[in-house]
Amino acid sequence: MSDWFTVASLIALGIALIIVEVLFVPGTTVVGILGFVSAVVGVYLGFEYFGEEIGWWIFGGTTVAFAASLYFGFKGGTWDKFSLKDTSEGRVNDGYWSSLKVGDKGVALSTLRPIGKAEFNDKEYEVRSYGNYIDSTTKIEIVKIDGNRIYVEPLK
């Protein structure tokens, strides 16, 4: 009786680890390899303990169980609970820049490398320089507004 338990446990562990590899930690391969080795050892022990005919039945059952668990797992939407479905539609500076114009002066709140935070008219905005490194607390001026991108340069 313990032979059946050993074979069934190894195969179940193998199938579970392979499913974990496919669904939760894809790309690591360590979990998948451990699952594959566990399932192969379980099938091998089935051949050793019970003979060739039962071994082939165990092999076929393992293959069908693995395929069915993946099929029903994906088809049934079981794994949809673990996936992100929402998207963020918000944009940086969306609608906030309408009060700004080219030539407005402000101060860099963070270091611009080339993107950072700046303050204009007591409001905080995300701004970018033209590739220049601008230290925080530097006085800056808006030189271009392109959509929701605000380009600045340091005051001279």
- Position 145: which residue type? I
In degrees and rounded to multiples of 5, residue 101 shows phi and psi of -145, 160
CATH 1.10.10.60 corresponds to the domain 101-154: no
Could you read off the pLDDT tens digit of each residue along the chain, which spans 156 residues?
788 888 889 989 998 888 888 777 767 778 888 988 999 999 999 999 889 999 899 999 999 988 887 787 677 666 666 666 777 766 655 556 578 889 999 999 999 989 999 999 888 899 999 888 999 999 999 999 887 789 999 998
Cα 47 to its chain centre, rounded Å, is 41
Task: Give the domain ranges of the chain.
Answer: 2-78, 101-154
> How far apart (Å, rounded) are the C-alpha atoms in residues 133 and 94?
25
In angstroms and rounded to an integer, the radius of gyration of the C-alpha atoms of the chain is 30
In degrees and rounded to multiples of 5, residue 149 shows phi and psi of -100, 130
